[in-house]
Structure 1
């Protein structure tokens, strides 16, 4: 029987893209998927672009440093639940509701729980957010990207809640990306080696600077091309720092943002990256050898815990942010570039994690919740 599945995901691509990966899998199974999110956030752009119905909800979180903001947040929550109730009265309630974290999920999941609709939540990080922890006690199933999150949920789940590790779903456009097309897109010869560097706009400045300082050593490898995504905020500063000559620009490509991350990863022989949940998932899904530099100010140092999942399985190396200005980091990068056999071992280790099948595993959990 085809299911009607309501999904709430919003705020950042790290929440939205896994939700869209699940939606793609459910759609292929013949299920009907609709999304709930805020009209002024990223989900209002990405979800319609992907071709899924989008219902606008208006919700705000509260600042724990300013407790009085809780009153306004609760008023908006109640209003959003009423809007959702009116919507479901017109179209019929869903068979399952799925939340991907952030406050935008709470009115949908609370209404569904109150109206006997099974709830599934998915946590992308090793340290769960407040919204998912708040909803875990009434969830039928809590799905985790990383085993390390199990302990963090232990006190929050209900007595009948099932907890399972599904991995973090990655969109088909990433998983099906072509190395050949990626090389063409980034103007890298098919027989060259390619290093991909990215960190995003948040917390990437130190990483950008450390890699830029290695420019001469990197370009001394005659067959190496570097694709360096700086984040929009840091592009001008990194461009000035690198001061690339016309000759160097042929093999060191700098850009503020990469739209086609799937092609970039598929084309890469090695990656230097922060350790956000989505980055970890995409790197693992495409089995790219990586050196991970966790963002040191992430909540509860969750990026380090994220990174350890790949590192402990032999699929990545980890360097703390405090050490990337030293000689050790430089030698780690150059060693990975210079030793293909090491990269092959890391690729095999990443393949063994089965991250490319996470969307299927999460869709199975949604079906399980409906039938339980």
Structure 2
């Protein structure tokens, strides 16, 4: 039986960092371990972590803006101060001292990772993306374990990590609320018949407009297919434009639902037969975890084109097809989306390929790896 651990987690800034960390925390908590988060109260983690019921210890760091080099001095001063403060706090309070410290890649992880390394506490890093962030690259040499979500990132960390560092492909943890998605419940919420074919479309908070434009152009062709329903999440900024451009009639609106964002992603994915989306790390992880066939259109302005590499993870497995953003205006894109909607056989093959990736077990694999570490 594994000894119960006290695990400190640092994750912040964006949902792409915080949600995988919460997924791990849920798994560790279910196994009886104690979890405490370290982050900034004014950022997303300061809201999501307390809402999830986990202890939260505030740290105060300042990011370095490469466009303003003079901010480096302030950032380094804040980092050093917070590192010293955490070392003192851990030494003064044995209940606060963790057995393992886990960082999910944002700069907010640095004080905790450095304090842990100074005190001999095993450091674990998790990298969600196919292009490692600066914080994880800086911390790699101190890590006992680096968990990766994409095979392509292994080579980067092999060059930066210590010889003793373990690098394991665990996948990107997905929250239990998503994994618990239910097809019948999702379809009931949407008013979609059980025998219909459902296309779910979402583009994320950035870069959704081109996808939304293309969906406007494809609306009539999609609704001309028997039994096809569409749920189209536009992003908040593009909702009014898309709704007006679609100009749905009453009959069309019964089969084509347009909304600003997706509430209850697990149920929506489980209800879907095909997904059309960008390929951010969290989107790819959730699509794979629910084993939904997908058409992926990487956001073309993503740093180092990492969304294309993210998408290849599913494409290479046979679970998805990919189109460059510049190519979605062509007939090949439209024909592929329509062809997949018309072919339950192709979708079944893609579903099986996605299920074989085992992305739904990513949080468990990461928790297993953490449990294997001893202070």
TM-score tier (shorter): over 0.9
Look up the match of 1:56: 58
Provide the secondary structure at the position in 2 that maps to 1:113. Answer: helix
Provide the secondary structure at the position in 2 that maps to 1:227. Answer: strand
Is 1:130–2:134 an aligned residue pair?
Answer: yes
- State the shift of 1:86 in Å: 4.3
**CA distance, structure 2, for counterparts of residue 82 and residue 348 of structure 1:** 50
Select 1:18's aligned residue among 2, 17, 20: 20
Is 1:286–2:290 an aligned residue pair?
Answer: yes
Look up the match of 1:164: 168
Mark the runs of 5 or more structure 2 residues left unpaired by the alignment.
none
**CA distance, structure 2, for counterparts of residue 92 and residue 101 of structure 1:** 22
Mark the runs of 5 or more structure 1 residues left unpaired by the alignment.
none
Which shifted more, 166-175 or 186-195? 186-195
- State the shift of 1:82 in Å: 3.5
Q: Retained in 2: the 8 A contact 1:120–1:369? A: no
Provide the secondary structure at the position in 1 that maps to 2:37. Answer: strand
- Paired residues for 1:1-372 under 5 Å: 1-88=3-90, 89-90=92-93, 91-370=95-374
**CA distance, structure 1, for counterparts of residue 359 and residue 58 of structure 2:** 31
Provide the secondary structure at the position in 2 that maps to 1:54. Answer: strand
**CA distance, structure 1, for counterparts of residue 96 and residue 312 of structure 2:** 43
Q: Retained in 1: the 8 A contact 2:87–2:119? A: no
**CA distance, structure 2, for counterparts of residue 137 and residue 78 of structure 1:** 18
List per-residue Cα deviations over 1:267-318 (Å, max 9, x = no partner): 0000001000010000001000000000011111111011001101100000
Runs of 4+ in 1 over 3 A off after TM superposition: none
With normalisation by structure 2, the TM-score equals: 0.97
**CA distance, structure 2, for counterparts of residue 200 and residue 314 of structure 1:** 23
Provide the secondary structure at the position in 2 that maps to 1:294. Answer: coil
Cα RMSD between the aligned structures? 1.1
Q: Retained in 2: the 8 A contact 1:59–1:104? A: yes
- State the shift of 1:146 in Å: 0.8
Provide the secondary structure at the position in 2 that maps to 1:202. Answer: coil
- State the shift of 1:369 in Å: 2.4
Provide the secondary structure at the position in 2 that maps to 1:291. Answer: strand
Q: Retained in 2: the 8 A contact 1:195–1:226? A: yes
With normalisation by structure 1, the TM-score equals: 0.98
Q: Retained in 1: the 8 A contact 2:37–2:54? A: yes
**CA distance, structure 2, for counterparts of residue 314 and residue 127 of structure 1:** 22
**CA distance, structure 2, for counterparts of residue 183 and residue 57 of structure 1:** 42
Q: Retained in 2: the 8 A contact 1:201–1:234? A: no
